[in-house]
Structure 1
Amino acid sequence: MIADVLTETRDKMDRAVEVVKEDFNTVRTGRANPQLFQRVLVDYYGSPTPLAQLASLQNPEARTLLVTPYDKTALKEIERALVNMPNLGANVGNDGEIVRVTLPELTQDRRKEFVKIVRGKAEEARVSVRNIRRRAKDDLDALKSEVGDDDVARAEKELEQITKTHVDAIDDALKRKEVELLEV
């Protein structure tokens, strides 16, 4: 029973770390990267559809991304979704066949702003990990009558170690992303 609680907790915390790493990939560095557009939803025949399902993304130059729709009728909607993307500040143009996204050069102020965004995402992930820990601790406390206080105390120590490992993983990912963002 205790092992089940700890395994489930570890899995949930692993997922929280993966989500924050994916979030970090959507924050722009100096290069155009198809991962920036992972979460873009396009209104395709009335339903929000991920951009990757509607078009291929190519990166011919450092600050340019070409979006080639599989269905040419979706071109305008793809362009509209890219123009309305927050925190991008890109020039979006369409030549009737493809959408060309040109990202502006990042200024030092903009880089610092992105660092703040990334730090906020990291803090949200840490809070998520702590909430998972709290729920697991509640589950362990509920097991006290069945397994005994000593076993629960050992499990709580292991839970703290699992939590520390995952918070450290979030902090390491944050440090790498900050270095990447501030690199000129």
Structure 2
Amino acid sequence: MLRRCWTGEKFYFIQFTFPLNNLIDVVHEIETTGWTVEKPLNNVTKHYVIKKDPSIIKFCSSEVGFADTYDSLVYKTIIPIDWLVKRNITTKYVHFLDDDRLVNTRRLHQFAVDSLGTTESKIIGYKLRFRQPFRTKSSKWFTTLEEYPFDFWPPYIIGGTILTNMKVVKNLAYAIPFTKIIKMEDA
């Protein structure tokens, strides 16, 4: 979908379906039939595999299979999504949370029950719009034009705290192999 956006200074044309134009159709096909004829763009969930059940791994273990660097933060979101689906976890809600946040879990659960159905395609969090990729090479968030050739990111929820349900987690897991991975923690 090509959108024309006014930022107050000039118009930008933004394509939010980069690079696979039919991703929604692919996810729906996998959700309803269990497979698709579309070729995956990546095999990140096959390459980075949690070798042990995280509930039994000792703290500070170095057996998770990738370097713990800023560029690997995107995989710290992708891998749990894939793990939740492959392990057939039967929870209603999923909360992604940075380790520097404090949460009242009872209030969070009640908020989820009141605000988020288990069959809705809904993500709750702080949404950013019209954010530009960092093009300065010295920035830790530097994104090359080859990685992402557009002037603005699509709207996205920042990663500090994200609340959703298993329906969305499953759809994300189905979409991951057909999505270009960008080394940006919130993308």
Q: TM-score, normalised by structure 2?
A: 0.24
Q: TM-score, normalised by structure 1?
A: 0.24
**Which protein has the bigger helix share?**
1
Q: Which has the higher contact order (CA 8 A, sep 6+)?
A: 2
